[in-house]
Amino acid sequence: NGMLAAAAALLLLAAAGPGLGPGPGRADAERAQQDSLREELLLSPLPAGDVAATFQFRTLWDADLQRGAVSHYRLFPKALGRLVAALGVRELHLALTQGFWRTQAWGQPPLQAPAGAELWVWFQPTVTDVDKAWKELSNILSGIFCASLNFIDSTNTVTPMASFKPLGLANGTDHQLLRYAVLPREVVCTENLTPWKKLLPCGSKAGLAVLLKAERLFHSSYHSQAVHIRPICRDASCLAVSWELRQTLTVVFDTFAGGQEKKDWSLFKMFSRTLTDACPLASQSKVYVDISPKNKEKELLEVTPTPASVHEAVVQGERRTYAVYDLLSPLLFNTSRSLNVQLKWKRPQDSSELPIPVLHAQRYVSGYGLQTGQISTLIYNTHPYRAFPVILLETVPWYLRLYVHTLTIITKGKENKPSYIHYQPAQDRRRPHLLEMLIQLPANSITKITIQFERALLKWTEYTPDPNHGFYVGSSVLSALVPSVIAMKDVDVEQSPLFTSLFPSSDGSSYFVRLYTEPLLVNLPTPDFSMPYNVICLTCTVVAVCYGSFYNLLTRTFHVEEPSRGGLAKRLANIIRRFRGVPPL
């Protein structure tokens, strides 16, 4: 098979040889088309007056990273390319998030990530030891992104059996090649943003990335930055593979945190910068603003400067209208040298206009003490007449011992039996609990899933330096194909905006959504860490006083001592004392 491939390659080369020989320009042009960059910013106003900004930078490379020694990296960052080639990675998704996306208040997120750090990876079938490759991968990524991903080990890694199907091209889905881990305690700050920005071809010097200033990005309700690497079809015939690297950053700016009373937004207010040019290496650089009218009325939002074009798309089951600013068109910077998109609300919103998302969930923990504890998850299906299934994936650390016999799923007062359950119990200090269920959600219902647990006592060296903060339980993952009212056409990936093409859609009647619930904070019984010192002091004192004196009493013999007359000095002293009237020595 390898010989045939080599022979085919040689034949192709021989055929293309005379074409490649002369003309370094043509070779350059041919090579120049091998990778391309598209950048895009989507501004969507949220119901409560906040605004969400989603940046997407996509580098597409028409080369096969798995085969051959690729040594010339142009736009695709070498650090990630070498990683994919050396460790046999088929898909990599890493997200670092601060805050929580409030689905009920803000609507369905375009792309959500759980609080903390989340890493899930599909490996190639050629990888023999997946766990070893996983460990190496998390260590290398912790160095690249300045995050504590080296804490990912077998105690927080699971192998989901039904969720997290590959988002890229897949030959078969053997779930033993998948690993998923989440670190809910991970903090995201400028030191994670700095290497993320350095992976962009233009850095933070030109294009949309000039807006990424840490002081504004972290002063927000929700900040999520992610890296997605996957193989996709090179063209419509899908006979060759291209590697796609998407870097996404979603940030939600809050009116109250920003300290302003009026709800008008502009790029300058959000990022304290404006756009001056597009990245010279980008083939496409656009800003989209969501100006969809709510409830079929007149437009609510006024956008200045006037957009050059308007794009209509069906996104997540709704027809939406976007104002488009193309940074590469020369007309845009004709009037002013910088682009400052301003959003003004024409009239105030009232609460009846707030759209309710079709699927949303929440989770909370209850119970106190060592023995009683309960995790409850509520899943809401607000679709008026359609029912659909949802996969719930829960990863619970080993020190919360789940009682699976207490698992109850109740919908509309009746018990709801899941069509598929995969449960893997925890092993102390080795493996967490994994619970995966496929649940049918009836139309217009609330499903409550409860499971009880008890807390385990940890060894005193296993506590973190701040144990009174509590211990985190990672977010649960809900994957669902939500039916949409409007049929979605299969669109060409190259023509449509990036935010519509992350999840491959199979048919037009539903769209795939992945939601995360809140992480939980659980208090474990915390010992008093000064007790070992206290115990040692007390024990030594007791031993010294009681046993010591007992030992002395038992082992020493008593003799009567003759009072000696004393030496010369003593006799002289006694004489002096007799003169003084003081009793003698």
Partner 1 sequence: MAAAVPAVCWVRAATALLLGCCGAALASSVQDQAEQFFRSGHTNNWAVLVCTSRFWFNYRHVANTLSVYRSVKRLGIPDSHIVLMLADDMACNPRNPKPATVFSHKNMELNVYGDDVEVDYRSYEVTVENFLRVLTGRIPPSTPRSKRLLSDDRSNILIYMTGHGGNGFLKFQDSEEITNVELADAFEQMWQKRRYNELLFIIDTCQGASMYERFYSPNIMALASSQVGEDSLSHQPDLGIGVHLMDRYTFYVLEFLEEIHPASQTNMNDLFQVCPKSLCVSTPGHRTDLFERDPQNVLITDFFGSVRKVEITTETISLDRDLAGFESKLLKDELATEPLKYAEQLPVAQIIHQKPKQKDWHPPGGFILGLWALIIMVFFKTYGIKHMKHIF
Using CB under 8 A as the binding rule, the residues of this chain from 546 to 585 that contact partner 1 are none
Least separation in angstroms between CB 128 and partner 1: 13
CB contact at 8 A, 37 and 285: no
144 binds partner 1 (CB under 8 A): yes
Site for partner 1 (CB under 8 A): which residue of 127, 162, 456, 502?
A: 162
Site for partner 1 (CB under 8 A): which residue of 268, 333, 345, 512?
A: 512
Q: How far apart, in whole angstroms, are the C-alpha atoms of residue 44 and residue 54?
A: 8
259 binds partner 1 (CB under 8 A): no
Using CB under 8 A as the binding rule, the residues of this chain from 296 to 335 that contact partner 1 are none
Strand segments, DSSP code E, in 412-469 are: 414-415, 420-424, 433-441, 445-455
Site for partner 1 (CB under 8 A): which residue of 33, 139, 427, 539?
A: 139
Only one of the segments 231-239, 357-365, 441-449, 565-573 lies at the binding site for partner 1 (rule: CB under 8 A); that segment is 231-239
339 binds partner 1 (CB under 8 A): no
Number of residues that bind partner 1 (CB under 8 A): 78
Q: Which positions from 210 to 229 touch partner 1 by CB under 8 A, shown as an x/- string?
A: ---xxx-xxx----------
Helix (H) / strand (E) element for 457: namely none
* Structure token digits, residue 385: 């007449």
Cβ nearer to partner 1, comparing 28 with 312:
28
Cβ nearer to partner 1, comparing 343 with 392:
392
Site for partner 1 (CB under 8 A): which residue of 32, 33, 143, 310?
A: 143
| CB atoms closer than 10 angstroms to residue 548 | 11
Using CB under 8 A as the binding rule, the residues of this chain from 492 to 511 that contact partner 1 are 503-504, 506
Q: Which of 515, 522, 518, 523 lies closest to 116 in space, CA to CA? A: 518
CB contact at 8 A, 376 and 364: yes
Q: Which of 167, 111, 169, 236 lies closest to 492 in space, CA to CA? A: 236
Vertex 565: Cα angle to 563 and 566 (nearest 5): 105
CB contact at 8 A, 433 and 398: yes
Q: How far apart, in whole angstroms, are the C-alpha atoms of residue 576 and residue 559?
A: 32
536 binds partner 1 (CB under 8 A): no
Cβ nearer to partner 1, comparing 149 with 341:
149
Only one of the segments 21-29, 297-305, 353-361, 576-584 lies at the binding site for partner 1 (rule: CB under 8 A); that segment is 21-29
531 binds partner 1 (CB under 8 A): no
Helix (H) / strand (E) element for 533: namely helix 531-542
Site for partner 1 (CB under 8 A): which residue of 187, 531, 575, 585?
A: 187
470 binds partner 1 (CB under 8 A): no
Q: How far apart, in whole angstroms, are the C-alpha atoms of residue 488 and residue 565?
A: 118
Least separation in angstroms between CB 190 and partner 1: 5
Only one of the segments 101-109, 276-284, 397-405, 474-482 lies at the binding site for partner 1 (rule: CB under 8 A); that segment is 474-482
Least separation in angstroms between CB 454 and partner 1: 26
442 binds partner 1 (CB under 8 A): no
431 binds partner 1 (CB under 8 A): no
Strand segments, DSSP code E, in 284-373 are: 284-290, 301-304, 309-315, 318-326, 342-345, 359-366
* Structure token digits, residue 25: 């320009």
